[in-house]
Amino acid sequence: MNHPTPPTITVVIAQCVQRSFLSPLPGPDPRLKPCHLHAGYTNTVRLLGGGPSHLPNVIEDFLWRAHGGENGNLAGSEFVHVIYVDDEHVDDGSELVESHFAQFGRHCVPGEVDTNGLEGYLGTGQTAEWRDLRNGRTHVVRTPGLNDNMYGTGFIPVLQSICQEAEEVYGVRPEDVQILNIGGWSIIKELFCGVWELLHHGIPDYRDPNNREATIRFKRVALSDALSYSVQREHHNIALDITRMIGGVVLRTPQEALAYSGLN
């Protein structure tokens, strides 16, 4: 069933929007961070709000709209998918896990809670409960590494299923599904996994299951400056610059991200 005028289908890739990386801190002292990979005080205030200027919580406001608002039916949200790409480290006592924690600090262990009783593995604020939405447009992928959300996880099958629905239900070609990256926390995830791989490398075509070559390359891939972060601001700025250089779109404000997603 094709719509007379095909809509714009947007996939929001929410990387590492988790308490271990992004959660309120009492001050800017880096010793207050729960692990080395935490975004830090400045990024947290910029994204989750608060601070001396009482800034708004822009990342959760955007995701609230992407999920459809209060009743789940906000205009435009029916064409927006959200993929939460969550870091996960099951503490199995292995040398690999122990060396990872030794380098970065203990983080994203399923079931462990912080001093407020909140699981660091889950999302910030309401995003924890949004991961449980069963609306066909909310997806969760769990990955144990810096740059492996493309392969070895459920990320590609989820993206393929979204592309298949876009074509069969709405008449939208897979390459015309647009991508929006938010969250972070490293230049690897922001840039290479979120932009380069999808824009230039692509994913295998669901219509040819026997062909593992990447043949679907997305024409519009964006990175939101206002809704993403890296542990080091200079790395974040480099990711923005290179995104533009390789043909991606940089969205500066939350309003631009909403407009891009058809949610304004």
Q: In what order do the strands lie in the sheet with 138-143?
A: 138-143, 80-87, 10-15, 178-183, 221-228, 249-251
pLDDT tens, position by position, 82-114: 999 988 888 888 998 899 899 988 888 888 876
Question: Does residue 143 belong to any structural domain of this protein?
Answer: yes
Average model confidence (pLDDT) for the chain?
88
Give, in order, the Cα–Cα distances in Å from 88 to each of 107, 140, 185: 8, 12, 14
Name the token pair of 170: 């709405």
Choose between 239 and 256: higher pLDDT.
Answer: 256
Q: Is the pLDDT of residue 115 over 80?
A: no
Question: Does residue 2 belong to any structural domain of this protein?
Answer: no
Per-residue confidence (pLDDT) for residue 1, from 0 to 100: 54
Question: Does residue 191 belong to any structural domain of this protein?
Answer: yes
Under DSSP, is residue 167 helix (H, G, I), strand (E, B) or coil? helix
**CA 119/CA 78 separation, integer angstroms:** 29
Q: Is the pLDDT of residue 157 over 60?
A: yes
Choose between 260 and 20: higher pLDDT.
Answer: 260
Question: Does residue 4 belong to any structural domain of this protein?
Answer: no
**CA 202/CA 157 separation, integer angstroms:** 13
Question: Does residue 119 belong to any structural domain of this protein?
Answer: yes
Average pLDDT over residues 158-180: 96
Question: Does residue 3 belong to any structural domain of this protein?
Answer: no
Average pLDDT over residues 69-78: 94
Q: Is the pLDDT of residue 186 over 70?
A: no
Which residues are CB-neighbours of 88 under 8 A, at least 6 positions away? 108, 110, 121, 142, 143, 144
Per-residue confidence (pLDDT) for residue 178, from 0 to 100: 98
Q: Is the pLDDT of residue 169 over 70?
A: yes
Per-residue confidence (pLDDT) for residue 259, from 0 to 100: 98
The torsion angles phi and psi of 244, rounded to 5 degrees, stand at -65, -40
Per-residue confidence (pLDDT) for residue 116, from 0 to 100: 61
Element (H, E) at 10: strand 10-15
pTM of the model: 0.93
Question: Does residue 1 belong to any structural domain of this protein?
Answer: no
Whichever domain contains 18, its CATH number is: 3.40.50.850
The number of distinct structural domains making up the chain is 1
Q: Which domain holds residue 135?
A: 10-260
Give the pLDDT band (50/70/90) at residue 143. confident
Q: Is the pLDDT of residue 205 over 60?
A: yes
Question: Does residue 209 belong to any structural domain of this protein?
Answer: yes
pLDDT tens, position by position, 29-47: 999 998 888 999 999 999 9
The torsion angles phi and psi of 165, rounded to 5 degrees, stand at -60, -45
Q: Is the pLDDT of residue 4 over 60?
A: yes
Q: Is the pLDDT of residue 81 over 90?
A: yes
